[in-house]
Structure formats: structure tokens, C-alpha cells
Amino acid sequence: MQRFPAFDPPEYVEWQPDPALVRAYRRTVEENPERAALVALLPSEAKRALYAGLLRARLHDVQLKRWVRTGVISKAWLGTGEEATTVGPVHALQRGRDIVAPMIRNAAACCEMGMSVADMLRAYLGSEDSPSRGRDLHVGSFSHGVLQPISHVGDMVPVITGIALTFKMKGEPRVALTWVGDGSTKTAAAHEGTNFAAVQKVPAIFIIQNNQVALGTRLEQHHLPGTFRDWGASYGMWSAQFDGNNVLDAYAATSLAVERCHRGEGPARMGGHATHDEREARETFPDALFKEWGRRDPIGLYEEYLKEEGRSAAELEAVEREVTAEVERAAEQAVQSKARMPQGETALEGVYAKPGR
Ligand SMILES: Cc1ncc(C[n+]2csc(CCOP(=O)(O)OP(=O)(O)O)c2C)c(N)n1
Ligand SMILES: [Mg+2]
């Protein structure tokens, strides 16, 4: 994809495929027979949609950075480098049936569940026509199956567990999924929710998104085991790991978890490993670590995979042109919404359910 020297992490600007990592990417997809079978069944169109999803996520972040740089907004939360951990799992779900609760790192989930990029950008402007009507920058849309998270990390775990419990009680073949940052696993809410999900055997999927940092706190400062491999087992819960930079692995691992949920064998816990590119992380970790993870750009590696599958550069460029146009159009539409800021009194509207509902 086109790189953006002004906005991309430095490791991505001159990104070139490392042949060993390209081979390892394919090996990851092929070495687990169950996952390999699922990937082999993916229609060409679905693989293209995964690519578009990754691009949409990256370009959404680039647009936000552009707005920060030009003073349209003062701050943005980004998922750059972690796109595969969000996009792969959402593509394993069914729109209109399943429910997700994205954390701020997972804004891409909103779009992959069908929300428009323009609405995602409007949320940052806090306009009257934004998803929360200007109340909050956390984004959700019930009609798209996306729960709007609250700021407190870890708190969506018991909420998702409750939703999954409802699915189980009603006998509905649906699943509920949320992501939990490595740091957020330490909250009481995450523990209580995970344990309750396990003992109630609800159709929930928890993805521990281990980007090795929680603001300025490194993983080894808050998590002595070093990995999350045994985390699910400590709750008596089935769990699996996937490569957080490999969208196909993330997709296939989540698909298996969904199948388990449908068989009544939920919940499932999964770990995705990714990188994190924000100021605190850059101040916390040595440059070498960013170089190492930068070589694993989830978009660059997936492009190499697709090319090996016989996709032409022209086809990939066509997808990129479509998504670029979608994001550019969305930014233009969203900026128009700046003229539609909510009146203060409207903050009191729509807070409580109407009697009888
Ligand atoms: C309960 C709670 N404590 C503290 C914060 C402040 N806070 C916001 S993000 C964050 C770090 C979360 O780290 P992690 O779970 O690893 O997610 P990441 O940001 O790395 O995606 C903290 C401590 C919060 N939002 N909620
Ligand atoms: Mg983290």
C-alpha cells in the first residue's frame, strides 16, 4: 500500500518484505490443520474483504493523524500495526447476528460490522449527527451489533458475558466478542467477567490483545508469567493463541472459537500478539523492538501472501483505490458535520430507557 512518511510509524515508511517473515507468515497459516482448512475454504472475495478491512483500518488512523496535525482535533486513539487482531476476528463473525465490544484499539471492528467511516470520524468531532450524538468519543451502534465501550478498561468483559448469557438462556445461536488489552486483564471486572463466563459456559470470545504495554507500563512490569498461554486454563476455559500480525490466523482461530460456541463449548479465550505505536510505547521500549515488529507490518505481509496466491499488483491497487476513496469521502462528509454541534441540553436526552421498554 501507499506509505505516508508524515503519518506512518517510521518502520512502515520504507517497508520492504523480509523473505523469512513472508515464509513464516504462510507457515503460520498452514501449520495448524484446522485453521489451514478454514483458510483454504475462504472464497477469493473474502480474502479481498480482509485486505480492504486492513486498509480501511490503517487509512482511518492516517486520516485521524492528519486531523490532529492540522488542528481539526487534538487527539486520536489508534490501532496502527494492530489491525489484523481486530479485522480477522470480526470477519469470523456474522453481521446482524453477533455482538462485539471493541476497545479503543479496535475501532476497525465498527467498520467491519458495517458502521460507516464517516460516522467513526464524526465521533471524534462530537457532532450532533455522530453515533453518540456528541456525548462520547467511544463509538458503538446497537443496530450494527457494536456495543459502545465505556472508558474503564476491562469493564466490557462482564458486559459481554452478560450478553452471551442472554444468548444462551434464549437458545440463540449467537456469540459475543470483546478484546482485552494485556494491561486490562489485571482489572477486577475482567477477572470476574471471565470467571463467570467460564462457569456459565456462555458463547463469549475474549481476545487478549497483548501489545506488551499498558500506557507506559511494560508487560513484564505487570504480568510475571510473561505470556498469556496459561491464562484461559486458569479459568478452566478453552484457549488458543494466534499471531496478531496475521489476519488469516486471527480469522481462522476466531472461526474455530465461534464453532465451539455454537456447539455449546464456549467461552473461548484467545491471545493475539501485536505491536503498539504510540508515544508512551516509544518512550518505554528500545528502538530495536519497533524495528523487529515493524518488519511484521500486518498489511505488508498480507499483501505478500496475496501476491504469492497469484493476485496481481493491479488488483490490490484497485482495492486500495476503492478504500482510499471511501475514507476520503468519509472525511469530507464528516467535516461538514462540524456545523452541526449538539445543544448542551441534549446531553440529558436518551439517557434512560423510556418506561415500559
Ligand atoms: C479501569 C481503568 N483504569 C485505568 C484507565 C486508564 N487507561 C486507559 S488505557 C490504559 C492502558 C490499557 O492498557 P492495555 O489494556 O494493555 O490496552 P492498550 O492500550 O495497550 O491497547 C489505562 C491504564 C482506564 N481507562 N480504566
Ligand atoms: Mg496493551
Q: Please report which ligand is nearest the Cα atom of 152.
A: 1
Please tell me the distance between residue 183's alpha carbon and the centre of ligand 1 in angstroms.
6
What type of residue is 76? A
Cell numbers for 154: 476491562
Please tell me the residue having the least CA distance from ligand 1 atom 24. 152
- Per-residue pLDDT averaged across 235-261, rounded? 96
Name the band, by pLDDT with cuts 50, 70 and 90, for residue 276: low
Please tell me the distance between residue 63's alpha carbon and the centre of ligand 2 in angstroms.
23
Q: Helices H, strands E: what count in the chain?
A: 15, 7
* Residue 73 or residue 285, greater confidence: 73
Share of the chain above pLDDT 70, in %: 98
Going by C-alpha positions, the residue among 170, 152, 171, 159 that lies closest to residue 197 is 159
Q: Please report which ligand is nearest the Cα atom of 210.
A: 2
**Closest atom, ligand 1, to C-alpha of 104:** 21
Global pTM reads: 0.96
Please tell me the residue having the least CA distance from ligand 1 atom 21. 181
Reply yes or no on whether the pLDDT at 315 is more than 60: yes
- Per-residue pLDDT averaged across 134-156, rounded? 93
3-class DSSP assignment, residue 148? coil
Q: Please report which ligand is nearest the Cα atom of 106.
A: 1
Least confident of 192-201, 218-227, 317-326: 218-227
Q: Which of 83, 152, 153 to mutate to test the pocket of ligand 1 (most atoms within 8 A of CB)?
A: 153
Name the band, by pLDDT with cuts 50, 70 and 90, for residue 269: confident
The residues with which 270 forms a beta bridge, in sequence order, are 207, 240
Please tell me the distance between residue 119's alpha carbon and the centre of ligand 2 in angstroms.
26
The pLDDT assigned to 272 comes to 58
For 208-230, write each residue's pLDDT tens digit: 999 989 988 999 999 999 999 99
Name the band, by pLDDT with cuts 50, 70 and 90, for residue 90: very high
Q: Are 220 and 226 in contact (CB under 8 A)?
A: yes
Name the band, by pLDDT with cuts 50, 70 and 90, for residue 274: low
Least confident of 7-21, 41-55, 234-248, 256-270: 256-270
Q: Please report which ligand is nearest the Cα atom of 154.
A: 1
Name the band, by pLDDT with cuts 50, 70 and 90, for residue 273: low
* Residue 284 or residue 122, greater confidence: 122
Q: How far is CA 45 from CA 49, 51, 67, 87, 101, in A?
A: 6, 10, 32, 15, 26
Name the band, by pLDDT with cuts 50, 70 and 90, for residue 287: confident
Q: Which of 80, 156, 184 to mutate to test the pocket of ligand 1 (most atoms within 8 A of CB)?
A: 184
The pLDDT assigned to 352 comes to 86
Least confident of 15-24, 93-102, 252-261, 348-357: 348-357
The pLDDT assigned to 30 comes to 97
Q: Please report which ligand is nearest the Cα atom of 107.
A: 1
Q: What is the DSSP letter of 5?
A: T
Name the band, by pLDDT with cuts 50, 70 and 90, for residue 323: very high
**Closest atom, ligand 1, to C-alpha of 151:** 25
Name the band, by pLDDT with cuts 50, 70 and 90, for residue 8: very high
**Closest atom, ligand 1, to C-alpha of 276:** 20
**Closest atom, ligand 1, to C-alpha of 209:** 21
Q: How far is CA 156 from the centre of its chain?
A: 14
Q: What are residue 247's phi and psi, to 5 degrees?
A: -65, -30
Q: Are 87 and 57 in contact (CB under 8 A)?
A: yes
Neighbours of ion ligand 2 (CB under 5 A): 181-183, 211, 214
Reply yes or no on whether the pLDDT at 80 is more than 70: yes
Residues with a CB atom less than 6 Å from ligand 1: 105, 151-154, 181-184, 187, 211, 213-215, 276
Q: How far is CA 349 from the centre of its chain?
A: 30
For 277-286, write each residue's pLDDT tens digit: 677 778 888 8
Please tell me the residue having the least CA distance from ligand 1 atom 11. 214
- Per-residue pLDDT averaged across 201-209, rounded? 97
- Per-residue pLDDT averaged across 290-313, rounded? 95
- Per-residue pLDDT averaged across 67-91, rounded? 94
- Per-residue pLDDT averaged across 304-332, rounded? 97
Please tell me the distance between residue 326's alpha carbon and the centre of ligand 1 in angstroms.
31
- Per-residue pLDDT averaged across 263-278, rounded? 72
What type of residue is 130? S
Burial readout 116-150 (b: 16 or more C-beta within 10 A, e: otherwise) = bbbbbbbbbbbbebbbbbbbbbbbbbeebbbbbbe
Please tell me the distance between residue 215's alpha carbon and the centre of ligand 1 in angstroms.
7
DSSP, residue by residue, 79-142: -TT-HHHHHHHHHTS-TTT-EEE--GGGTHHHHHTT--HHHHHHHHHT-TTSTTTTS-SS--BG
Reply yes or no on whether the pLDDT at 33 is more than 80: yes
Q: What are residue 18's phi and psi, to 5 degrees?
A: -95, 115
